[in-house]
Amino acid sequence: MSGDLTESGDVSGGVRRGGAGLRTRTEVAARAAYVLRGNDRGGLTVAAPRLYPHMWSWDAAFVAIGLARLSASRALAELETLFAAQWRTGMVPHIVFSPDAPPYEPGPDRWACRDVCPDAPPAPATSGILQPPVHALAVRRILDAVRIADAAEQRDVVGRIRALWPALLAWHRYLVARRDPDGRGLLTIYHGWESGMDNSPRWDGPYAGVIPSPQFTPFRRSDVHALAGAATGGGAAGSAAQRPTDADYRRYQWLVEELRRAGYDDARVQNSLDFLVADVFASAIFAAAGEELATVGDELGLEGVDELLGHAARFRRGVLGTTDERGFAADLDLRRDAFLRMDTIAGFAPLLCGGLEPARQRRLLELLASPAWCGHPGLAHAVPPSTSPSAPAFDPVRYWRGPQWPPMNWLLIWGLERCGEPDAAYRMREATLDQLADGVFAEYYHPFTGEPFGGRPQSWSAAVALDLLAR
Q: Is 307 a residue of the active site? A: no
Total Cβ atoms within 10 A of residue 186: 28
pLDDT in tens, 170-184: 999 999 999 999 999
pLDDT at 227: 67
Give the three-class secondary structure for 318.
helix
Q: Is 299 a residue of the active site? A: no
Cβ contact 287:136 at 8 Å: no
Burial 23-55 (b: 16+ CB within 10 A, else e): eeeebbbbbbbbbbbbbbbeebbbbbbbbbbbb
With the C-alpha atoms ordered 412, 414, 415, 419, is the resulting torsion angle positive or negative?
positive
CA distance 451 to 50: 19
pLDDT at 223: 73
Distances (CA, A) of 113 to 261, 278, 309: 10, 24, 32
Nearest to 283 by CA among 417, 179, 356: 179
pLDDT at 224: 66
CA distance 300 to 342: 41
Give the three-class secondary structure for 227.
helix
pLDDT at 144: 97
pLDDT in tens, 55-105: 999 999 999 999 999 999 999 999 999 999 999 999 999 999 998 888 888
CA distance 393 to 395: 6
Instruction: Report cis status (omega within 30 of 0) of the bond before 124.
Output: yes
pLDDT at 43: 87
Given the residues 258, 291, 443, 451, select the one marked as catalytic: 443
pLDDT at 92: 99
Q: Pick out the chain residues at pLDDT < 50.
A: 1-19, 231-237
CA distance 30 to 440: 12
Given the residues 7, 59, 194, 198, select the one marked as catalytic: 198
Cβ contact 52:59 at 8 Å: yes
Listed in order, strand segments (DSSP E) in 238-380 are 277-279, 331-333, 338-340
Nearest to 61 by CA among 13, 130, 151: 130
Give the list of residues 6+ apart from residue 372 with CB closer than 8 angstroms, or none.
343, 388, 389, 390
CA distance 350 to 312: 13
The widest CA-to-CA distance across the chain, in whole angstroms, is 62
CA distance 381 to 197: 21
Q: H-type helices in 94-150, by residue range?
A: 108-111, 113-116, 135-145
Residue 343: what are its φ and ψ, rounded to 5°?
-85, 70
Give the number of residues written for the chain. 471
pTM, entire model: 0.94
Please count the helices (runs of H) and the strands (runs of E) in the chain: 21, 8
| Strand pairing category for 277-279 and 187-189 | antiparallel
CA distance 251 to 102: 24
CA distance 447 to 394: 11
